[in-house]
Amino acid sequence: MEKLLTIIDGPRLISCDFATRQIGKVKKRKLVVNMSSQSKFTVDEKKRTAIISWSMQSNTAGVPFKFTIEVEALFKIGKPATKKEIIQAGKTEAGPVLLVFLRAIIADLTTKADLNPFYPNYPDFSKLKGKVKKDRSVSKTGLRGRS
């Protein structure tokens, strides 16, 4: 079965805001970090391409770091498809690729902050829901990560 989306450029880091505090107090403690994730889709039907970005944000008080990180990549659309099909493929085909990149960045940043590497959990892509908005973005979806 042919994939609808094939990565042709990226992924690349678009933005990164990572702040640390109270590092010394939690060196050996397990952390639970609540996060949210957001995806955006921009489709160019003439060029048969889609730019897909994925961001993750931490939403937990009492954790020694907080972050908002966004990556994006350019994908080739393999066959004629509706925007709804492209968004669904973005979740199931592009989302995992982009989240692997995001997880590596977050783990690297927490390691550089002298913490154990933090690897966020993956969301269940088959259950992600979002409404397509006029700007072609998908509404936020919650997920939970553990160190």
- Find the CATH number of the domain harbouring 65: 3.10.420.10
- Asked if the model's pLDDT at residue 145 lies above 60, the reply is no
Domain assignment present for residue 141? The answer is no
* Residue 139, in any domain of the structure: no
Amino acid letter, 130: G
Please, which residues have CB within 8 angstroms of residue 50's CB and are 6 or more apart in sequence?
5, 41, 42, 43, 44, 74, 75, 77, 86, 90, 94
Domain count, the chain: 1
Residue 19 lies in a domain: yes
The answer to whether residue 104 sits within a structural domain is yes
Q: Residue 101 is part of which domain span?
A: 5-121
pLDDT tens for each residue of 69-100: 999 999 999 988 888 888 888 888 888 889 89
Which tokens hold the place of 34?
Answer: 């609540």
Query: Contact, 110 vs 16, CB < 8 A?
Result: no
pTM of the predicted structure, to 2 decimals: 0.74
28 located within any domain: yes
Is the CB of residue 67 less than 8 Å from the CB of residue 106?
Answer: yes
135 lies in some domain: no
114 in the Ramachandran plot: left (φ > 0), alpha (ψ -120 to 50) or beta?
A: left
Does a structural domain hold residue 24?
A: yes
Query: Among 17, 118, 101, which residue's Cα sits nearest to residue 52?
Result: 101
Q: Do 113 and 20 contact (CB within 8 A), yes or no? A: yes
Give the residue-averaged pLDDT of 48-62.
Answer: 86
Nearest alpha carbon to residue 75 among 43, 46, 37 = 43
| Sheet strands (E) in 3-82 | 5-20, 32-44, 49-58, 65-77
Q: Is residue 127 part of a domain?
A: no
